A and B are shown apart, each in its own frame.
Chain A
Amino acid sequence: MMTAKQGKLHIGISETRTLTGRVARFLGAVPTWILWFFVVVWTIPTFGLFVNSFRSKDAQRNSGWWMAWQDGANDYGGMTFENYADVLGASATGGLANGLLNSMAIAVVATVIPIAIAAFAAYAFAWIDFRGRNSLFIITVSLLAVPSQVSLIPLLQMFSGGAHFTLPIIAKTVTVFPDFDLAGTIPAVWLTHTGFALPFAIFLLHNYISGLPRELLESARIDGADHFTIFRKLIVPLSIPVLAAFTIFQFLWTWNDYLIALTMIGGNREMLPATVVIASLAGEFGRVEHLLTAGAFVITVVPLVVFFALQRFFIRGITAGSVKG
């Protein structure tokens, strides 16, 4: 393993002298201290937001969250759910409750549809023989790092006016995608998320599905099962772990998404998901910051619950999906 390629890095086997005694023991304990120091630092921001979300407006403005235990003594009124009631109610903010409903509608469809479509394609790429399969697969999967920014303008144009293709020379315009007037609606977000999820989803599911034992599929085929039956009765049940990992990844991706919803729904306030509602609240930080604590915690709590409940799938999905565009 150790080759000349590593240049100046070398195994220092000649150096046998080491530090001993108390110094060594002291040095040995340092890493643990550093680790837990980092853990505390990493947790403080979220924890602070959580504590603050239960404090009254005056309390939040006049002292830090670490003073929460003194709120009663300072006439700030102790713990309160007021912020949550205010931010969820329609009056002050344009309704985070409405936003949560929209978020849920976006996330559910934009998770289920891509996972189904990707499973079909992954199965086809793995187990149906056809010409050009390899190159088609590589082209599809290579698109997974394409940043969503490159699609936003044409997609919005398509959703708001249809897609038309003018044939060169004869100058005839053909409508490829009719104008359904989708701009500003949730279906526009579904379509965009679905398209963007697919290359990664196909990649992830294909890795797993193509690794299933060949004998199993072949014996099913000998028994007379067709592709659809094999897919339904063998592939789907066997792929539950990877389907779960992708479901969690995609659900959180769409739940946490801001850019695509902001672009595709834009000014249609009724349809905005929670992230966009909260982000626009953040724009008026000074006026509504006490609501912002509760609001930010509400949109964060869903991913946190998923995270702590399904950590294993979650980490697998998130880490695999980090290359996604």
Chain B
Amino acid sequence: MDKVMSTVAAVVFVIVGSALLFVGANKLFDLATRRWSAFCTLVGAGSMFSVFGLLWGNRLIEQPVAVTATALVLGGLTGYVLSIISSGTLRLYVGTVSGVLLGTLLGVFLKQEYRPVNEVLVLILLIGFSLAVGLLIWHRKGRRTSVVRPLLLWATIGWIIGVFFYPQIGPGSLAWTVIAAAITGAGLGAWVGMFPQPDLAMKRDISLGSRKYIFLTPALGFILLTLVIPLIRTIWMSFLTGLPKELVWTGLSNYKYMVTDPNIIDFSDWREIFTSRLFFVGVGVLVIGLIVARISGRRTGDRLDLNGGSLAAFSVALMMFGLAFFTVVRGTISNNLWWIFVVTIFSTGAGLAMAVLTDRSKGERVAKSLIFMPMSVSFVGAGIIWKFMFVARPPVKNQTGVLNSLWVLIGELSNSATAVTVIVVILFLMLIGLLYLAFRGYSAGVTTVTAGSLIASLPFMWLIYRFLGHDLGGFIIHNGEVFSNPILFLTESPFNNLWMMIVLIWIETGFAMVILSAAIKGVSSDLLEAASIDGATESQRFWNITVPQIAPTIGVVVTTLIVVVLKVFDIPKVMTNGNFDTQVLANEMWQRAFTELNFGLGSALATVIFLGVLPVMWRNIRRIQEQRAST
């Protein structure tokens, strides 16, 4: 209960505190036009509070509470006095005196170990240099104002660097520290005092001009602190090696390590790509696709006709070649590319299919919600959900995962003569049906149907072949007894990678579906109607009107998915933690950086992920620029 209360208190404190900060800043600058004295008092007090508070936070001053409080009061008082007097000389005096007082306060209470040493020569040089800079800037700005005030500011900046930042810190004397701080205060105080008392228009400018800072600073500050600076630092650290506190520059060594370590990328067996079964299947399907494209091309007068059928064949061939490549070329980077290859293609393809299927069909909303639902589940939750789908129990026990139960069931069926007969007959009838469809399609001239049913008939032929051979499904015969033989989905390399990708496909298909569905609904119905009046079939309308029109949206979906998949972390982490050859870049990066504390290599891996995202960022920038140009 205590924990609940303290958590609630912390949450409320942070939210209310931030709100008050923002509202307070706005109210403060509202005062500039209405109650100038109050505004000046608060600004004086506030700026002194931030300066001394910063010193306090960095543990630079003795007696921090009392010193900060004194500075706050002094600052507020100065602000108030400056707001009511308008004589130029008097303002200058007030500013200078209170600057000296505040500076002395700092000098006296600065911790002994931070007292600077006096280095006159460098000091004079620095002041001269910064005066020159100030003069140059004043000149470039068109000499509109008096030269005294900017020069005073620049001289003070030179003085600050010369007394506090350049010299050795520590063995300096108290007297010099007080003088150094007092002159700093005098310079800044005089600079403030030299501002003339503003008239109403100027006050309005202050009130209005402050708003952009008030509205933007929180956001830009956060972005700078958590995104921009860390990004630059990560890139820089990728060239360093060593323990976290003793990193030294070693150039490209982390990147060299990456390309030579077989765990990260291993090309050594590349010849096996061309001898693998997947490759041969790919070649076979590619040939079928080419034949289909050629035959239907003869009808349309093209050399090769790209329609649903031939495209399906080409995609299957591409998938087979990809699998042949990624099952042979191993390693983290290869795994990551494999993830990108499979998840992007399948999620986009399935999403497009769902979008088309749900479009104008009964129960569209229910179907869409159920397919989109995994998108709301966390990756951790999804990983666990699918761990139960993939679970493999020992052979003597019941299989409790859906997939292995089905697999074992198929094994049991293919091991019983009657079941095989029944199944083969059913499959055979379906095969005949498909071939009939292909024939009807051919004689009606709808090549898509022909090609589609021919390609769909291939798995049926394969199933019949395997069932007749009694070797499909999960079973082993031991001493005449049949045991179940589950697939070890998560531990058997290299296909365990593929099974884990299913989880992400399961999630991302809903995303692709929603985006593409919106695009499909946006396709001009006039055009579709016109084509249908001219006698175009549904599939012709889809391939020749819908697809070209939603192509840009498909591009958006693909790039988005690439970014998502490139960073995939939770799913491998929860399901295998990168074991059994399933390592991916994000998990490799995490392990190297946070369990081995190898910040250099971790940063290099993070940089690789960043480089992968860079083209997408570029695209985004271009899109935004176009968007803004058009409005």
Give chain A's interface residues, CB within 8 Å of chain B: 1-2, 6, 8-20, 23, 27, 31-32, 34-36, 38-39, 42-46, 48-49, 52, 60-66, 98, 101-102, 104-105, 108-109, 112-113, 116-118, 120-121, 123-125, 128, 130, 134, 136-138, 140-158, 163, 167, 170, 172, 175, 177-178, 186-187, 190-192, 194-196, 198-199, 202-203, 210, 226-228, 231, 252, 255-259, 263, 266, 275, 278-279, 282-283, 285, 289, 292-293, 295-296, 299-300, 303-304, 306-308, 311, 314-315, 318-319, 322-323, 325
B215 to chain A, nearest CB (A): 4
In the complex, A170 Cα to B58 Cα: how many Å?
Answer: 20
In the complex, A123 Cα to B437 Cα: how many Å?
Answer: 60
Whether A198 contacts B222 in the complex (CB less than 8 A), given A19-B446, A64-B400, comes out as yes
Asked if A145 contacts B620 (CB within 8 A), the reply is yes
Q: Which of B233, B388, B574 contacts A49 (CB 8 A)?
A: B388
Can you list 6 pairs linking A and B with CB atoms under 8 Å apart? A12-B544, A101-B7, A282-B575, A303-B378, A319-B515, A322-B564
B462 proximal to A (CB < 8 A): no
Asked if A151 contacts B398 (CB within 8 A), the reply is no
Interface positions of B from 561 to 615, Cβ below 8 Å from A: 563-564, 566-567, 569-570, 573-575, 577, 586, 589-590, 593-594, 599, 602-603, 605-607, 609-610, 613
Q: Which of A226, A275, A314, A322 contacts B207 (CB 8 A)?
A: A226
Asked if A1 contacts B222 (CB within 8 A), the reply is no
Of chain A, the residue at the smallest CB distance from B372 is A315
Query: Which residues does chain A contribute within 8 Å of B14, judged by CB atoms?
Result: 109, 113, 187, 190
Interface positions of B from 239 to 269, Cβ below 8 Å from A: 244
Of chain B, the residue at the smallest CB distance from A129 is B212
In the complex, A34 Cα to B370 Cα: how many Å?
Answer: 15
Among the 9-residue stretches B89-97, B418-426, B533-541, the one with 4 or more Cβ atoms under 8 Å from chain A is B533-541
Asked if B620 contacts A13 (CB within 8 A), the reply is no
Query: Which residues does chain A contribute within 8 Å of B174, judged by CB atoms?
Result: none
Asked if A6 contacts B548 (CB within 8 A), the reply is yes
In the complex, A161 Cα to B405 Cα: how many Å?
Answer: 52
Query: Which residues does chain B contribute within 8 Å of A45, judged by CB atoms?
Result: 385-386, 388-389, 402, 506
Pick from A19, A149, A154, A266 the residue with the most CB of B within 10 Å: A149
Query: Which residues does chain B contribute within 8 Å of A13, judged by CB atoms?
Result: 531, 534-536
A226 to chain B, nearest CB (A): 7
A251 to chain B, nearest CB (A): 11
Among the 9-residue stretches B67-75, B183-191, B357-365, the one with 4 or more Cβ atoms under 8 Å from chain A is B357-365
Query: Which residues does chain B contribute within 8 Å of A299, judged by CB atoms?
Result: 378, 380-381
Of chain B, the residue at the smallest CB distance from A199 is B223
Whether A18 contacts B398 in the complex (CB less than 8 A), given A150-B230, A322-B564, comes out as no
Whether A46 contacts B535 in the complex (CB less than 8 A), given A153-B599, A266-B594, comes out as no
Query: How big is chain B's contact interface, by range?
Result: 35 or more
Interface positions of B from 378 to 411, Cβ below 8 Å from A: 378-381, 383-389, 391, 393, 397-402, 405
Asked if A9 contacts B547 (CB within 8 A), the reply is yes
In the complex, A52 Cα to B400 Cα: how many Å?
Answer: 10
In the complex, A129 Cα to B397 Cα: how many Å?
Answer: 71
Contact code string B116-138 (vs A, CB < 8 Å = 1, else 0) = 00000000000000000000000
Asked if B613 contacts A325 (CB within 8 A), the reply is yes
B371 proximal to A (CB < 8 A): yes
B interface secondary structure, majority: helix
Query: Which residues does chain A contribute within 8 Å of B374, judged by CB atoms?
Result: 42, 46
Query: Which residues does chain A contribute within 8 Å of B225, judged by CB atoms?
Result: 177, 191, 195
Q: Which of B218, B300, B378, B540 contacts A258 (CB 8 A)?
A: B378
Query: Which residues does chain A contribute within 8 Å of B573, judged by CB atoms?
Result: 258, 279
In the complex, A22 Cα to B464 Cα: how many Å?
Answer: 27
Asked if B211 contacts A147 (CB within 8 A), the reply is no
Asked if A282 contacts B383 (CB within 8 A), the reply is yes
Q: Which 6 A-B pairs have the closest CB atoms?
A: A195-B226, A256-B378, A121-B219, A124-B215, A154-B230, A151-B230
Apart from A150-B607, A192-B226, what are 4 other A-B pairs with CB-CB below 8 Å?
A13-B531, A147-B563, A150-B234, A323-B560
Asked if A151 contacts B354 (CB within 8 A), the reply is no
Asked if A304 contacts B165 (CB within 8 A), the reply is no
Asked if B237 contacts A153 (CB within 8 A), the reply is yes
Asked if B216 contacts A120 (CB within 8 A), the reply is yes
Of chain A, the residue at the smallest CB distance from B544 is A11
In the complex, A74 Cα to B13 Cα: how many Å?
Answer: 54
A299 to chain B, nearest CB (A): 6
Q: Which of B302, B361, B628 contacts A32 (CB 8 A)?
A: B361
Query: Which residues does chain A contribute within 8 Å of B373, judged by CB atoms?
Result: 42-43, 46, 304, 307
Pick from B4, B219, B228, B610 the residue with the most CB of A within 10 Å: B219
Q: Which of B4, B244, B547, B610 contacts A146 (CB 8 A)?
A: B610
